[in-house]
Structure 1
Amino acid sequence: MTQQVALHPMLNVAIKAARAAGSIINRASLDLDILKINTKSPNDFVTEVDQAAEQVIIETLLQAYPDHAILAEESGRTHGAKHSEFQWIIDPLDGTTNFIHGFPVYCVSIALAHRGVVQQAVVYDPTRNDLFYATRGRGAYLNDRRLRVSKRTRMSDALIGTGFPFRRGDNFKRYMKMFEDVMTQCAGLRRPGAAALDLCYVAAGYYDAFFETGLNPWDVAAGSLIITEAGGLVGNFTGESDFLHQREIVAGSPKIYGQMVQILTPYTRVIKAEEEAAAAAAEAKPSAADAVAEAAQADAAPKKRAAVRIKKPVDGQAE
């Protein structure tokens, strides 16, 4: 059953921006051979389409709200009023690798946070013309249809979404153990490759839950509100609500979410401990000059090494 929904003015502006970005993406998808692709890091790509889509989103938002702040994947904080209580969190093309290959699973994600709490959310799938949106306290919708998370209660019946680590330095072995733990307890595991859209699939009930590590605020800000407004739960691997800057997320219908947290909780502390150990090892590693000097003094009496101070990595958190 569909119904006409009175949209919040700020949500209307976000929808306008998302559709404008979607038009740019759809036009570019017709001729991928001429696409200019740059590499941010191994397996992490940005195209001129990402940048053009981001530009039209930022222009649309700041035209309506020039005193708002912007946090965008490709340009960071270079636009808007940096210290505003209102911050737009933007991913102009989530699923760039899919887009480059013509695999039609990618989207535009736009969220508006007030004092750090997401209030408006839009995720637009330009290949299907599907618009997921939510305003805090007013429910979540796909086009004009109200969304509700699934009613499944058993992990053995659940379809779970995830995202694989892909950047150099990601902990693949740890992820594979996590993957195995989840896979052996659910009905199926899927990895389409666009986290913002995956979160919307939880809200729509297509998935019963979703989990991933290494995500940034622009990947999860919009989708997380859409899930909670559809009756689902979102948190970090220990079930706490502070997930936006934690680089780990689990989301799902209430019953499945609880079971997912039980499975994933052990991995939070392990991942952080291993990152701290890696940081300590990197700090303790001698320079090339030190190594040469040490080799030259191999027969000399060994010196007492200074204690290594362990620093906790920042994890690329936004302010």
Structure 2
Amino acid sequence: MNEEHNASVVGGKSFTAVAINCASKAGEWIKTKLGNYNQLQSKYSSQDLVTEVDKGSERLIRNLIATHFPHHSFLGEEGVEPGPDASVKALEEARNAEYLWIVDPIDGTTNFVHGFPFFCISIALAHHGEVIVGVVYDPMRNELFVAEKGKGAYVHGRKMGVASEERLRESLVATGLPPDQQAALPLNLRGINQLAPKVRNLRIAGSAALHMAYVAAGRLSGFWEIGLNSWDMAAGSLLIQESGGTVTDMNGEPYSLAVRNVTASNGRIHDELLTALKEAETSAE
């Protein structure tokens, strides 16, 4: 796909081209900092990490977006206080904006800190609460996943499609290990215990946004996780939907920015995946 010519445009400016430019520039800068960060801090828990590179990446993206769209709203992970309550409040305050950029400057910070090459930049744009642009960029593999509402999703310029598996037992499925060890982690572990014997195999690689991009690209058949935030999922949700997949909460309700417990799949295994998670009593609601 020629992203610039297929982009959503307002006032002659392409939303998608700006998102791609931001993700690419942030990704190249992050690569120069791999193994070279100076400050490592814990946020909500000892598993919830942040470095000055996360903050610098978000600042770079915010400034670039403001140059092109100074009146748009911005919701970035590093601008929100730690913890699920603060995340919910920040989204509530921003979600009614006409245009809202939703950014995770490094999704997979723990991987970045350890030099494990599975992390990405996730940038989404919502219009009146509906995601219309989604970009996930993996700087270590130079893979750019791009979606526009109603126009499909692409990687390496090729249109993506979800996996063809019809049954859970044939499927490669991913999940995460939430940093919230009191509530979200135990619930997600129940799901792992329930799903592991029922799928071909499980993967836990440490980046929800990249896992969702892999569902869109047909590399995974499904993904679920408890306790995520809008910046983890917004771009990935559009990638999957535009690739022919399904994204819901764990009750099967359609994805919205407020969803925190997500189930995503190629669509074909979705009901079976939801049923297994329900049997595991993973719902936090």
Same fold (TM over 0.5): yes
User: 1:86-123 deviations in whole A, cap 9, x for unaligned?
Assistant: 00000000000000000000000000000100000100
Once the two structures are overlaid, the 10-residue window that deviates more, 126-135 or 5-14, is: 5-14
Partner Cα distance (1:83, 1:254) in 2:
29
Partner Cα distance (2:189, 2:113) in 1:
26
Contact (CA 8 Å) 2:107, 2:209: kept in 1 or not?
yes
Partner Cα distance (1:71, 1:54) in 2:
10
Find 1:37's aligned residue among 22, 37, 40. 40
Counterpart of 1:20, as a letter, is K
Counterpart in the other structure of 2:58: 54
Partner Cα distance (1:106, 1:151) in 2:
26
The alpha-carbon deviation at position 172 of structure 1 amounts to 4.0
Identity percentage of aligned residues: 38
Compared with structure 1, are the counterparts of its residues 267 and 66 closer, same or farther at alpha carbon in structure 2 (3 Å cutoff)?
Answer: farther
Compared with structure 1, are the counterparts of its residues 232 and 186 closer, same or farther at alpha carbon in structure 2 (3 Å cutoff)?
Answer: same
Counterpart in the other structure of 1:287: none
The alpha-carbon deviation at position 232 of structure 1 amounts to 0.2
The alpha-carbon deviation at position 166 of structure 1 amounts to 2.8
The alpha-carbon deviation at position 258 of structure 1 amounts to 1.8
Partner Cα distance (1:145, 1:163) in 2:
28
Contact (CA 8 Å) 2:19, 2:123: kept in 1 or not?
yes
Contact (CA 8 Å) 1:28, 1:35: kept in 2 or not?
no
Compared with structure 1, are the counterparts of its residues 112 and 268 closer, same or farther at alpha carbon in structure 2 (3 Å cutoff)?
Answer: farther
Partner Cα distance (2:150, 2:168) in 1:
29
Contact (CA 8 Å) 2:188, 2:225: kept in 1 or not?
no
Counterpart in the other structure of 1:7: 6
The alpha-carbon deviation at position 267 of structure 1 amounts to 5.5
Question: Structure 1-normalised TM-score?
Answer: 0.79
Secondary structure at 2:105 match in 1: strand
Question: Structure 2-normalised TM-score?
Answer: 0.88
Counterpart of 2:198, as a letter, is Q
Q: In the alignment, does 2:142 pair up with 1:152?
A: no
Considering only aligned residues, what root-mean-square deviation do their CA atoms show, in Å? 1.8
Counterpart in the other structure of 1:21: 26
Instruction: Compare CA radii of gyration and give the structure with the larger one.
Output: 1
Compared with structure 1, are the counterparts of its residues 270 and 96 closer, same or farther at alpha carbon in structure 2 (3 Å cutoff)?
Answer: closer
Counterpart in the other structure of 1:283: none
Compared with structure 1, are the counterparts of its residues 270 and 62 closer, same or farther at alpha carbon in structure 2 (3 Å cutoff)?
Answer: closer
Counterpart of 1:48, as a letter, is E
Compared with structure 1, are the counterparts of its residues 4 and 246 closer, same or farther at alpha carbon in structure 2 (3 Å cutoff)?
Answer: closer
Contact (CA 8 Å) 1:237, 1:268: kept in 2 or not?
no
Secondary structure at 1:271 match in 2: coil
Partner Cα distance (2:185, 2:133) in 1:
34
Find 1:117's aligned residue among 93, 109, 130. 130
Counterpart in the other structure of 2:268: 255
User: 1:186-218 deviations in whole A, cap 9, x for unaligned?
Assistant: 000000000000000000000000000010000
Counterpart in the other structure of 1:69: 73
Contact (CA 8 Å) 1:238, 1:264: kept in 2 or not?
no
Counterpart in the other structure of 1:221: 234
